[in-house]
Every structure is written in C-alpha cells, then in structure tokens.
Amino acid sequence: MGTEYEKDHIKKLQEQRMSMQKKTFTNWMNNVFFRNNVKVEIQDIYTDLKDGISLMQLLELLSGETLPKPNRGKMRVHFLENNSKAISFLKSKQVQIKVIGPENIVDGDRTLILGLIWIIILRFQISSIKLDKVKQSDVLFANEALLLWCQHKTASYSNVNVKDFSKSWSDGLAFNALIHAHRPDLIHYSSLRQDQPIKNLNNAFDVAEKELGISKLLDAEDVAVPYPDERSIMTYVSLYYHYFSRMKQGQTIQKRLTK
C-alpha cells in the first residue's frame, strides 16, 4: 500500500515540478524576446518550438551571433533541419547535449524540451555569474556562486536562511531580503511576516517588476509549496543577480567620473 502511495506522491511532485518549469521557462523566453523587441510570443513551449525558428532566434539573441538562415518550410523535414541547426550551434559552444535530438523537439518530448531550455539558461544566463575573490572554474560552480551570493546578501536578515534554491524561498522572505539588501527604500522588511508566504512573494515579485523592471517569471502559488522547483527559482533569482551587478557597475563608473 505504502509503495503505491509513494509512487503517486513522487509522480505528483514530478508533475508539479514540470508544470512550474514550463511556466517559468516560457516566461523567461518571452522576456528575452520582449527585451530585444522581437515580436514572438511563446504560448506553449512543447508545441511552439516545433519548427525550430523561435529556438534559433532565441539563441541568436542570447549569444549575439548569427545562426544559419532557418528554413521557412512547413514540413517535418524542415522543422528537423532548423532544430538541427540550433543543436549544432549549442554544441559549437561546448554545451553538453547528449540525449536531445532535433526529433525530440519536433515530437514535443516534454522532459527533453524542458531539459534543453534549462541547458540554454545555464549556459547563457547562469554560467556567467562570478563572485569577486573566487576562482571561477565551471558551470557547476556558477549555481554555487549564485547561492553564495544570495547567502552573502541575506545573511543579516531575520527568518532568512538560504541553503538551496527550493525550500529556502517558499515563504517569500528571501526574495524581499535580496531586494532590501540593495534597495532598502523599496521594501519595508520589518513589516513582513513569515506566516504570510503568498503576500510576501507577491510583494517581492511586484516590487521587482514595477521598480526594477525584473520580469515576474514565477507565480506565488507555485513557490509557496514545501519544495518549489529549483531550476525555476534559480532562473528567476539569476535575474536579480544580473540586475544588481549592473547597478553596482553603474555606481562604480559614477564614482570614477566624480573623482
């Protein structure tokens, strides 16, 4: 009896995780297109990437490089050709893609499509994260660097203890602390209560979007669960990192100019 229940439970968690990833990754892709003034909107990540054209566009925007021209034909063979070009481009960037082939994208393989988008996010958004005074060695280190950055910024906040990119973010306080650490004028931290996760999450997401222009990739309801999806949270938190790094660089340049 127990094992059936466990299997059901694991299956449910897996579905929850995939549904959160699907939402976050779709929002993330649309955010990349929007910021680059490209009129593309992905509705369903499992079907809209089929022809390979949006995927090729996405890679061009992220890398700043030009890929071979996509084939505009409407047949399966054209779709496979475009997705092959996208995958070859990633391989040329030393991105490890072993199990994902063009046919997986054309056939809408949900697990592998989510895996592919995650690989792209890791390569173009997370692997560039570097901490001062720490030697950067590999992509694996980039998620550790992001975690260390979060720990460092939120260390002095009550009720915040960032140990991972899942459970530590459920009550929303860590997001608020990250914003407050850089922009104390935007968050009234002492008024937040740990037992109001949805309120806390929406507060951080709204402030980040309205005041900092950081797109709302996550829904509070998906995060306020015992184990929210790690990849989704990491994707969103990396936007904070990049935003505040740019802010810091801007301030450093200002200081130099005033001197």
Distance of CA 168 to the CA centre of its chain: 17
pLDDT at 44 over 90: yes
pLDDT digits (tens, 9 = 90+) for 196-239: 999 999 999 999 999 999 999 999 999 999 999 999 999 999 99
pLDDT digits (tens, 9 = 90+) for 123-159: 999 988 877 655 555 544 788 999 999 999 999 999 9
The CATH number given to 1-126 is 1.10.418.10
More confident residue, 118 or 257: 118
Say if residues 173 and 197 touch (Cβ distance below 8 Å).
Answer: no
**Hey, what are 75's tokens?**
């047949």
Least confident of 5-19, 157-171, 231-245: 5-19
- Return the pLDDT at 139: 47
Least confident of 10-19, 29-38, 48-57, 232-241: 10-19
* Cα–Cα separations (whole angstroms), residue 68 to 57, 81, 82, 105, 188: 11, 11, 9, 18, 50
Mean pLDDT of the chain: 93
Task: Give every CB contact of residue 41 below 8 A, 6+ residues apart in sequence.
Answer: 30, 33
Task: Return the HEC string of the chain.
Answer: CHHHHHHHHHHHHHHHHHHHHHHHHHHHHHHHHHHCCCCCCCCCCCCCCCCCHHHHHHHHHHHCCCCCCCCCCCCHHHHHHHHHHHHHHHHHCCCCCCCCCHHHHHCCCHHHHHHHHHHHHHHHHHCCCCCCCCCCCCHHHHHHHHHHHHHHHHCCCCCCCCCCCCHHHCCCHHHHHHHHHHCCCCCCHHHCCCCCHHHHHHHHHHHHHHHHCCCCCCCHHHHCCCCCCHHHHHHHHHHHHHHHHHHHHHHHHHHHHHC
pLDDT at 254 over 90: no
Note the residue count of the chain: 259
d(CA 154, CA 151): 5
Considering only CA atoms, which of 200, 138, 156, 158 is closest in space to residue 175?
200
Mean local confidence (pLDDT), 23-43: 97
Where does CATH 1.10.418.10 sit in the chain?
Answer: 1-126, 132-259
Percentage with pLDDT > 70 across the chain: 94
Fold of 132-259: Actin-binding Protein, T-fimbrin; domain 1 (1.10.418)
